[in-house]
Amino acid sequence: MADPRSRFTRGWWFLAPGLVLMTLIVSVPLLMAFRYSVHRVFLYRFDEQTFLGLANYLRAIRDPLYVNALKVTTLFTLGCLVLSIVLGLLVAFALSSREVRLRPAWLALFLIPFVVTPVVAGIAWRFFMWQQEFGVINQVLGVFGGPDPYWLLERETALIAAIVSNSWHLTPLAILVFYAALTTIPDELFDAGKTDGAGPMQSLWYIVLPMLRPHMLFVSIIVITSAFREFDMIWSLTGGGPGRATTVLSIFAYDRGIANQDMGMGNSIAFSMFVIMAVAAWIYITVYRRVLEHEE
């Protein structure tokens, strides 16, 4: 008989109840989503369900609007990824310098965009930043004699505006993780680099960036998952418009499932998002293990 205090037995006693609960809470809706996705089912005609197989998925793939939503989501996600990593690195580098005073205070204030309610952030950007006539962006551009586009009313600029607004919300995470990593790089490493004749750019490229690789991977995956499923910010910023220029997959699934009441279609769009993310998760875990092994 195993000792109830043995590490393993103890662990399972504490783990099991939560594990069962979590599996139920998450997998029941997920399985229901899959079930509805292979049926013809409408919102207020729940009792008339007919099995369709993969017909909803095939219809989605042939639907130019689904392809458009997939394209918009990809551009949106990649845009947020690039912006938040680049800006996050830049700010973290500046902040981690020993010349900077009151570093914890700066960091605390930089966190604000991350906790601001995304729906409210969308409202703030829409009415006070991107607004064509009096918005901050065009007022600042005006000082430099720049153009004054109707940011949210034109197809190309609306997507750019959505990417910038959402990156505003996500960059603090990147700053925080990179900053925490940078402050743990021992000074000896830089001194060694200096003795070997490395300039600031070289030590950045050959010492700092390689050390940040696992952190960049971590930030990337958080930003990718968050941006890929983003709904709130875009919903209050543009509502998916103009036309379908910012209709990401989450909004498209809402559109089909609830606005059009075609729940079979809505659920197959949502479930296709889950499949895409599952593949991304698998890639991430594989790559991450390799990077960590490489470190050791």
Partner 1 sequence: MISPRTKRRLLAVLLHGVLGLWLIYSILPPLMLLAASFNSTALFRSPLDLLLFREFTTENFSQAFTRGAFWFFFRNSVIISSAAVVITLVVCVPMAYGLSKITGRARSAVSFGVLAMRFIPYVVLALPLFLLYVNLGLAGSRAGLLLAHLAIHIPFATWMLIGYFDSVPEELEQAGIIDGCTPWNLFWDVTLPVVRSGVIALAILVFVMSWNEYLFALFLAGSDAQPLTVGITRFLGGAEAGAEYGVIAAYSVLVISPVIVFALAANRYIVSGMTAGAVKG
Identify the residue among 67, 82, 108, 259 touching partner 1 (CB under 8 A).
108
Rounded to a whole number of angstroms, the minimum distance from the CB of residue 64 to partner 1 is 21
Gap between the Cα atoms of 79 and 37, Å rounded: 30
Identify the residue among 57, 76, 151, 168 touching partner 1 (CB under 8 A).
168
Rounded to a whole number of angstroms, the minimum distance from the CB of residue 162 to partner 1 is 14
Is residue 111 involved in binding partner 1 (CB under 8 A)?
A: yes
Stretch that binds partner 1, among 1-9, 62-70, 152-160, 191-199 (CB under 8 A): 1-9
Binding residues with partner 1: total (CB under 8 A)? 103
Under rule CB under 8 A, which residues in 193-232 are in contact with partner 1? 214-215, 218-219, 225, 228-229, 231-232
Handedness of CA 44, 48, 49, 55 (dihedral sign): negative
Q: Which residues pair with 178 in a beta bridge?
A: none
Identify the residue among 60, 85, 91, 159 touching partner 1 (CB under 8 A).
91
Identify the residue among 58, 67, 119, 259 touching partner 1 (CB under 8 A).
119
**DSSP notation for the chain:** ---TTSHHHHHHHHHHHHHHHHHHHHHHHHHHHHHHHTEEEETTEEEEEEE-TTHHHHHHHH-HHHHHHHHHHHHHHHHHHHHHHHHHHHHHHHHHSTT-S-HHHHHHHHTHHHHS-HHHHHHHIIIIIS-TTT-HHHHHHHHTT-----GGGSHHHHHHHHHHHHHHHHHHHHHHHHHHHHTTS-HHHHHHHHHTT--HHHHIIIIIHHHTHHHHHHHHHHHHHHHHT--HHHHHHTTT-STTTT--HHHHHHIIIIIS-BHHHHHHHHHHHHHHHHHHHHHHHHHHHHHHHHH-
Contact 49, 40 (CB under 8 A): yes
Identify the residue among 57, 66, 110, 151 touching partner 1 (CB under 8 A).
110
**DSSP notation for 173-185:** HHHHHHHHHHTTS
Under rule CB under 8 A, which residues in 13-72 are in contact with partner 1? 13-19, 21-23, 25-26, 29-30, 32-33, 35-36, 41, 43-44, 46
Gap between the Cα atoms of 13 and 208, Å rounded: 43
- Tokens found for residue 282: 């698998």
Rounded to a whole number of angstroms, the minimum distance from the CB of residue 206 to partner 1 is 21
Identify the residue among 58, 61, 109, 209 touching partner 1 (CB under 8 A).
109
Stretch that binds partner 1, among 11-19, 61-69, 75-83, 149-157 (CB under 8 A): 11-19
Under rule CB under 8 A, which residues in 254-273 are in contact with partner 1? 254, 257-258, 263, 266-267, 270-271, 273
Is residue 236 involved in binding partner 1 (CB under 8 A)?
A: yes
Rounded to a whole number of angstroms, the minimum distance from the CB of residue 103 to partner 1 is 9
Identify the residue among 55, 75, 123, 204 touching partner 1 (CB under 8 A).
123
Is residue 149 involved in binding partner 1 (CB under 8 A)?
A: no
Stretch that binds partner 1, among 54-62, 75-83, 117-125, 190-198 (CB under 8 A): 117-125
Rounded to a whole number of angstroms, the minimum distance from the CB of residue 179 to partner 1 is 9
